[in-house]
Amino acid sequence: MFALAVMTMITAAIVNAGCRSSESSRRSRVNTVNINSVRRHLEMTVRAREQEQTSKVGAGITKSEETLWEQAIGLEVEGSIYHPNLVEFSLAGLFGLLKEDYRDEFGDRTRTSSDDGEIVEFDLEGSFFKKKPYPGSVFARRYRTLQPRPFLSSLETTTTTTGFAWQLVNTTYPTSLQYVNTKVELRPLNDTEAPGLQENATLRFDTEYRFSDNNVVSFSYENRSVLEEPFSLDYTSDEVKLAHKLHFGEKHLHQLDSEVVFFDQRGTFDIKRTRWRESLRLTHSDNLRSWYQFEFLDRTQGSLLGVPPIHEKSYFLSSTLEHQWYLSLQSQLYAFAQRQKFDSGLKITRFGLQPSFDYRKKNRWGILLANYRLRLQKEDREGGSRSLEVVDERVTFRDPDPVVLTNTNIAVSTILITDELRTVVFRSGEDYTIRLVSDRIELERIPTGRIGEGQVVLVDYVFAFGGDFVLNTTAQNLTIRQNFEFGLSPFYRLRRQDQTIDPKSAN
């Protein structure tokens, strides 16, 4: 709203500046508004689209036609108020009329829809005190796009973004404040389809205190609100982060990073999360380095599908040792341990070890690359299983390979697939098929459905997690590649994984 008010003020100032009397011009030595450039243009656009779909089960032929007419005038202005270092602005607008017609036919049924509307697009950006230690800016933008969709009417998207940014330029305590509000209106040309709305607002404050270049404390706060329709998502979150970065030792080659984060989300589903993380990096010599990390996580998370809230406490510890043996050979040893405990009584303990070797040698034919990795992992679960929910897992349909969902033991009845904008819900048996392979789910798109080849979709589901067993995993990866200078790159790759399960009970 503030940005729109500034735009109105600037427009009024431009008009007033052009209407000043000659007497007032002689009295004033400084122009209130300076216009550097004015550009105008005329736009005329006609779009036409036809689709035809034949049912593979003999249900008939569906045809659709779309026509879009647009006529608009564009205006672009650049200038300043009093002086470019005080206020500098750019203002662009597109104003006109549009007419949309949609028609579809299925058998003897014909359905038509049309709409006459206005085109209002704008782009305002104003900068204040550019050469002061406290510069700021405001902006307001609105633009329209038309997105064709397979087997559906085109989707008209109107995006309006407003906000401001301010910063304090200081070598000891730099500070910034930002606010952005984005509203996206989604309207299908076929008026029988439900429209959508997405609105996000983010307020962020960042500051830090620099005791020295090697000792810095930082603080950040972020408030975010999300509203989506027709999926009825409505929540607000707050996140506070306190961090400390310290370089120490000879030549300040060692580094210690500390971070504490508090996150609280309220609304459609609640999340509370506390995370404490310590990361230590040591440089022992030019050829030897090591990293160490500790993380504590305490979270409580609700769900969208009625799954009982999850309360988890987790401890994670890892270390990495890296050694440069020769110019061409580097080795790395990674080890970790993790302990998870859920309020349902489920407990998971993991231990892992992963040595690896990387070889890179230039020869007279090109470059020889070799890599070997061995992964040893033990996972001990006890206390029974519980249900967990996954929201918005992104997958891509690429024929002829099926999509394999990440987790196992998925409840098929809970699978929900939508497009990226969450405006279209795809249907099983019409748009995709579900196949159960062992304990995993495979998804395949139906060519005559509404999911296009290469399309990215979002998948929600519930899966069972846990059980009483010990899982031992041994995995090996070997790759050898010769990159010839003339472009040929033959390679050999070996991947092997062995797993054994030791049940603790008959479950």
> Cβ neighbours of residue 5 under 8 Å, at least 6 residues apart?
none
Q: What is the pLDDT of residue 29?
A: 53
Q: What is the pLDDT of residue 216?
A: 97
Beta bridge partners of 64: 51, 104
Q: What is the pLDDT of residue 1?
A: 45
Task: State how far the Cα of 104 lies from the Cα of 61, in Å rounded to an integer.
Answer: 11
**Nearest-CA neighbor of 144 among 158, 124, 161, 123?**
158
Full DSSP string of 385-443: EEEEEEEEEEEE-BTTBPEE-SSSSB-GGG-EEEETTS--B--BTTTEEEEEETTEEEE
Query: According to the 3-state scheme, what is the secondary structure of 62-113?
Result: EEEEEEEEEEEEEEEEEEEECCCCCEEEEEEEEEEEEEEEEEEEECCEEEEE
Q: What is the pLDDT of residue 23?
A: 43
Question: Six-digit token pair at 439?
Answer: 């304990």
Q: What is the pLDDT of residue 297?
A: 96
Residue stretches of the chain with pLDDT short of 70: 1-31, 55-60, 504-507
Q: What is the pLDDT of residue 60?
A: 66
Q: What is the pLDDT of residue 149?
A: 80
Task: State how far the Cα of 179 lies from the Cα of 281, in Å rounded to an integer.
Answer: 35
Q: What is the pLDDT of residue 440?
A: 82
